[in-house]
Amino acid sequence: MTGLGAGQHAVMGALLQSGQGDRPGIYVPAGVDTVSWGWVAGPDAAPIAKVQPDEILTIDTVSHEGLLGDQGRDPVEFFGGFGVGADMVLADAAAIAASGIPHDQRRDGPHVVTGPVWVEGAEPGDVVTVEVLDLRLRVSYGVISNRHAKGALPGEMPEADPDSGAPVPLVTRFAAVAPGGGSAVVRAPSGPGLALPLRPFMGLVAVAPATGPAHSTPPGPHGGNLDVRPLGTGSRLHLPVRAEGALLQMGDPHFAQGDGEVALTALEGSLRAVVRVALRKAASPSWDLPYGETDDAWLLLGLHEDLDEAVRIATRAAVALVVERTGVDRATAYAWLSAAGDLSVSQVVDGVKGVHFSVPKAWLEAVG
């Protein structure tokens, strides 16, 4: 591709359209009839697919960036401004943007959410586990956006226009995936770029809330927009069931994110997720929030509008885990966590802030 202007970047690579490529197990595409926009569906929503416990589910997700109203609600035109040809834009993303799905960016959340999927036998009091088997890039590019009054530095970033002094409502930086797919380069309009490693994960994984639809931005007891970076391939997210059938939903696909997600978005790009959906009956953990795990650690989550309170919630859950698994007293568990555990800020940009307390599995056993 030639003749690109300032801020434009030639894009090459594979495109994984809906219905194409390997789709293990039950397949759910992202399309006008299989997504909601800005909301996590509630307990009365009609499921678009069903899975049995321990069955594999392949689910396509679409990034909201390039579809939103402040970006023109036209991903072909939006990404074309960065040198992406129309033939490199996902057909399902274009169809969703062009559809009659109502979306008010001031009222609704930004996320395009695929689902819900009924989990056979799931009832309130159970726990659904989503084990991530594979995450596949559907496009070879993504963007990172900072919007006015959003992010960790509201009122400071985006910076005002240097010439007019007028507020800038939106700043977006484009990133092309490097050959080989292990990294991407985020470019400044003037040309220089910064490389970063790709670490894909699903920012939003939810079950239906107990009482009705939920705005897609703040996470909560139903899961949702958790934005927990370690929940990539090989991880497991445990979601306490709130409604019959669980009604599993996914969205907000990320190519990469740092803890905190300070500018407002991660490196946003569409993904195909291959997961195994497990069900644990009548589970009663000591904490009634989602929690995760990797091969190396348990991840206890804290969610609250106040970051200090989120820390307290996660720490109490971590103490309870250590006590239950080892039999030591709470004071000893608390002391051990202070030396052995890691408390990280998941995100500070979703209204409800999130932290995750990482408890190492290798050392989580009492020594006689």
3-state secondary structure of 6: coil
Residues 249 and 334 in one domain: no
160 located within any domain: no
Q: How many domains does the chain have?
A: 2
Do 343 and 228 reside in the same domain of the chain? Answer: no
> What average pLDDT does the segment 225-241 reach?
98
- 267 shares a domain with 342: no
* 89-118: pLDDT as tens digits: 999 999 999 999 999 999 999 999 999 999
Residue where one domain finishes, among candidates 261, 280, 299: 280
20 in a structural domain? no
Kindly state whether residues 39 and 134 are assigned to the same domain.
yes
| CA distance to 200, 318, 355, per residue, from 347 (Å) | 16, 19, 7
CB-based burial, 122-143: b 16+ in 10 Å, e otherwise: beeebbbbbbbebbbbbbbbbb
Of 253, 280, 307, which closes a domain? 280
Any domain includes 300: yes
With cut-offs at 50, 70 and 90, classify the pLDDT of residue 7: very low
Which of 230, 246, 280 is the C-terminal boundary of a domain? Answer: 280
pLDDT in tens, 281-292: 986 656 689 999
Angle at 171 between CA 16 and CA 266, to 5 degrees: 45
Predicted pLDDT of residue 285? 59
Residue 99 structure tokens: 């559809």
Residues 248 and 342 in one domain: no
| Domain limits for position 89 | 26-140+201-280
Within-domain flag for 169: no
For residue 286, tell me if it sits in a domain: no
Same-domain status, 206 and 352: no
Separation CA 278–CA 53 (nearest Å): 5
Q: Is residue 21 part of a domain?
A: no
- Note the pLDDT of residue 5: 37
pLDDT at residue 1, rounded to an integer: 28
Answer whether residue 194 is part of any domain: no
- Which whole number is the average pLDDT over 61-78? 98
Which CATH number does the domain housing residue 81 bear? Answer: 2.60.120.580
Are 242 and 101 in a shared domain?
yes
Average pLDDT over residues 269-287: 88
- At 78 the pLDDT is 98
Q: What are phi and psi of 86, to 5 degrees?
A: -55, -30
What local confidence, expressed as pLDDT, does residue 12 receive? 54
In angstroms, the CA 356 to CA 16 distance is: 32
The CATH number of whichever domain residue 312 belongs to comes to 3.10.28.20
Q: What is the pLDDT of residue 14?
A: 78
Does residue 295 fall inside a structural domain? yes
